[in-house]
Amino acid sequence: MKHKYLIIGFSLVIALIVCTAFFAVKDNGGFQEDEIITLDKYNKIVSNKDTAVLVYCSASWCAACVKMKPVIEEMESYDPKRLKVLRIDSDRDKEVSEEFELNTLPLIMLYKKGTMKWTWTGKLERNALRAKVDPHLF
């Protein structure tokens, strides 16, 4: 009888681990945070004709980027039908980093139909970012 409860308990722990891992993977508009973004992939994503693309270039060691992370996470779910967020890690995504000479972070760029509409270097508050992005969503 003890073995039966032990097996049930073990099964519940395994199920909890699997569910936690499943729900911990966040939808980032189709772009995985740990996925390497090559320059070709970057160009393909920003040329999207259906949605605006907010490109966020950052690094884990950048204090301003860490402070900006909650704002970017909120933008990922702000208007997913009209806006996609593409995160570029300057250490991981070397091709893109070299192309844009990412020396100052964070760097934020907004593309609409493949054309860069707006760019910003440095930390930006949520309302200021929305004010810059909103006119390009319609």
The pLDDT value recorded for residue 102 is 87
Q: How many CB atoms lie within 10 A of CB 63?
A: 9
Please write the tens of the pLDDT for every residue from 77-132: 999 999 999 999 999 999 999 998 988 999 999 999 999 999 999 999 999 999 99
CA–CA separation, 21 vs 7, rounded Å?
A: 21
Q: Are 99 and 38 in contact (CB under 8 A)?
A: no
The pLDDT value recorded for residue 45 is 95
φ and ψ at residue 59, rounded to 5 degrees: -150, 150
The pLDDT value recorded for residue 14 is 52
More confidently predicted of 12 and 121: 121
More confidently predicted of 79 and 13: 79
The pLDDT value recorded for residue 120 is 96
The pLDDT value recorded for residue 62 is 96
The pLDDT value recorded for residue 106 is 97
Does 40 score more than 70 pLDDT?
A: yes
Where does the pLDDT of residue 59 fall: very low under 50, low under 70, confident under 90, or very high at 90 and above?
very high
Q: Do the strands 52-58 and 115-121 form a parallel or antiparallel pair, or are they unpaired?
A: unpaired
Q: How many CB atoms lie within 10 A of CB 83?
A: 21
Compute the CA torsion angle 8, 13, 19, 20 (nearest 10 deg).
Answer: 170
Which residue ranges form the domains of the chain, and what is each CATH number?
27-136 (3.40.30.10)
Q: Are 136 and 110 in contact (CB under 8 A)?
A: yes
